């Protein structure tokens, strides 16, 4: 299942997540949105896909990815998105938000998030 995040990158560009790979919006026409692998520059991955601009259904499936999937990075990104969502949509203090977001998380994700932040 493809998930499109509106503010998915650090530059606030839309990001599409599909089968563990991430794609950023490359360009759009009146009927299609063109996506390219998020690791286009770093890993020289040229995987691309097309979606319908109205329904967001995949029109052309992704080409072969040459980059590697980092499952911990995906989990960490979801964790960060959860914190941001709770901060914007609840009246909880920062300590409660972080505590609630850590509940049920993999200990490896907790260690990585702590090491990345401090």
Per-domain boundaries in the chain: 3-60, 71-117
| Rounded CA separation 111/93 (Å) | 22
Kindly report, residue by residue over 81-96, the tens digit of the pLDDT.
788 888 889 898 888 8
Strands (E), 1-118: 3-5, 15-18, 21-28, 32-37, 48-52, 58-60
Query: What is the maximum alpha-carbon separation in the chain?
Result: 45
Q: What is the pLDDT of residues 29-76, one digit of tens each?
A: 999 999 999 888 888 898 999 999 888 889 998 888 888 776 667 777
Q: Give the pTM.
A: 0.65
Is pLDDT of 118 > 50?
A: no
Contact 61, 51 (CB under 8 A): no
pLDDT tops 60 at residue 117: no
Give the three-state DSSP class for 18: strand
Total residue count of the chain as it appears in this document: 118
């Amino acid at each position: 299942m493809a998930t499109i995040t509106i503010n998915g990158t650090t530059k606030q560009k839309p990001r599409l997540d599909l089968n563990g790979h991430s794609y950023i919006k490359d360009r759009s026409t009146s009927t299609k949105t063109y996506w390219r692998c998020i690791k286009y520059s770093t890993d020289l991955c040229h995987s691309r896909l097309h979606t319908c601009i109205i329904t967001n259904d995949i029109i052309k499936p992704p080409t072969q990815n040459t980059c590697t999937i980092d499952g911990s990075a995906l989990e960490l990104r979801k964790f960060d998105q959860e914190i941001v969502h709770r901060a914007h949509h609840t009246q909880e203090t920062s300590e409660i938000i972080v505590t609630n977001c850590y509940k049920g998380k993999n200990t490896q994700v907790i260690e990585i998030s702590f090491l990345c932040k401090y």
